[in-house]
Structure 1
Amino acid sequence: MGITDGNKKVMDRQVFAIDQVIFREGKPGNAAYVVQEGKVEIFKTLGEGKEVILGSIEAGGLFGELALVDNQPRMASARAKERTVLIAISRQTFEKKMSGSDRFIKAVLRILLGNYRTVVRRAALAESKLKEHGIPLDG
């Protein structure tokens, strides 16, 4: 299944079962995703297999775009929390759209994403340490 522009396929529709992993932290990112139906959980795995949930993405939400913008490995993993239908936006389609963007804006975006990656990594570690000491993060 795919979405076409004339005769050319530009986006793929993919279906994931409950708890099926969509991508793993540390792997190359070749697509971003829009949730058409269902729910996706974004998580980091820390030492000893501990998971920290960073958030969830519902219908209409976008995820996985960081790896397309800055060409870095995935900063977190994603899995379907229920039967989920995603529209995949390939690196090729993304780069074609970005090629017309101002170089300054692209550079600022890459810097912002680098900062974001650092903050998320530190927040996940902090949350893990709080949990180790029985301190709830929310509430």
Structure 2
Amino acid sequence: MSTPILATIAQSHSPKQPEIIRKTACLHPSVWGDHFITYTPDDKITREKRKENKRMKELKEEVRKELIMASRTQLNLIDAIQRLGASYHFETEIEEALQHVYNTCDHDYDDDDDDLYRVSLQFRLLRQQSFDVPSGFNDRWLPVVG
């Protein structure tokens, strides 16, 4: 009637511990839902990516055409592209457009172009692209207000 030694050692080293009850947090459901858990097949992703890439190329070409065409809103368009952080896509077009503005700035003033916003935008964009634009008032850069 001897008890096995291993059973005696096991009983002496593992006394019965009280059951630990842990409280759970009352968390709200995620705003993302199961969006990141769902599975999308690779072929569907590549089709969607191809569509997005094609659309992106079309839009970039459209912006390039707008930049190349000389228009009254060209400076505003360049400013918007730079503020959006997409100017690296159109570096050469922006450079050419601003070079054209710089070369023709003393010839293209009409009575409608005399607004301070247009002149200040032109000044800032040309200075940002390292064109040598004087900071003083002169006939070439600021129209004479009568």
TM-score range for the pair, normalised by the shorter chain length: under 0.3
Going by fraction, where is helix more abundant, 1 or 2? 2
Q: Which has the larger radius of gyration?
A: 2
Higher relative contact order (CA 8 A, sep 6+): 1
Give TM-score, length-normalised by structure 2. 0.24
Going by fraction, where is strand more abundant, 1 or 2? 1
Give TM-score, length-normalised by structure 1. 0.25
